Each structure stands twice: as C-alpha cells, then as structure tokens.
Amino acid sequence: MATPVTQATQIRIVTVQLVALSLGLVGTALTLLQGRYWLAQAADNRVLILTACVPLIAAIAFAIAPRHAAEDDSKFRPLRAWTVWGNLLAPVGLTALTLIAVAASGSFQDFAGFAMLLAANAGRNLRDLIHHLRFS
C-alpha cells in the first residue's frame, strides 16, 4: 500500500535551487583558485575571467531563451525525486571531475570547458531560483 506524500517527505523548490546555486558557485570558485594558485604554472587570466563571468552570462542567456517545455511552478518536490538529486549532485560531480582533471594534467586551459560547464550550470540554477522566487 502506498503511503501518502506528506509535507515532511517534500522539499521546497527554492531551497533546492539555492543549495544547487551555492554548490555551483563554490565549485566554480574552487576551480578558479586551483587554476590561479594551486598549479605550477598559473592559468591565463583571460580564461579565468571568462570562467568567472559565465554564471551571469548563462543566467541571462537562459532567461531570454525561449523554453520548449512548460515551466513547473509547483512549490514542492518529493525529496527522492530525480530532479532534486540531479540538481544537487551535478555541481558536486562537475567540481570533482574538473579539479581532478586539472590536477592530473597540470593545465587549467586543457579543461576550462569543464569549469565553464560548471559555471553555466550555476547560471541556470540562478535563473531558476529567480524564476521561482518571482512566481512563488
């Protein structure tokens, strides 16, 4: 027999987006610090500045781009939903992948795309957070 979904087994979308945004920004900051200070040869400043600007650029791009699917304006999601875990684990996985790849290669420029993907994910989470705060 299925148990009814209660408030205790759900999480607010705004909370998920805020935590995912925080994880993405912290991950981006860690990759930028690694590229600047933790490598034998520091990364090119232009690449670091571009990577630092990607979250804002991505948030603007995602905000003005047309959506092909309808927005889900529900305020809660089940705690065990794939979308919740995907939003929270994506920045952690991308951060770990980027840090390991850059450390193994010794060059930030070789894996700057991973850092920019991580930053773009943070920008998407920023856009989603603003959308849910505006319409909740």
pTM of the model: 0.89
To the nearest whole percent, how much of the chain has pLDDT over 70? 93
C-beta separation of 93 from 29 below 8 A: no
* Element (DSSP H or E) covering residue 20: helix 13-33
- 136 or 59: which leads in pLDDT: 59
Average pLDDT over residues 25-44: 95
pLDDT digits (tens, 9 = 90+) for 21-30: 999 999 999 9
Helical residues (DSSP H) of 34-111, grouped into ranges: 45-64, 82-105
pLDDT score recorded for residue 91: 97
Can you tell me the distance from the alpha carbon of 51 to that of 29, in angstroms, rounded to the nearest whole number?
10
pLDDT digits (tens, 9 = 90+) for 55-99: 999 999 999 998 777 777 788 888 888 889 999 999 999 999 999
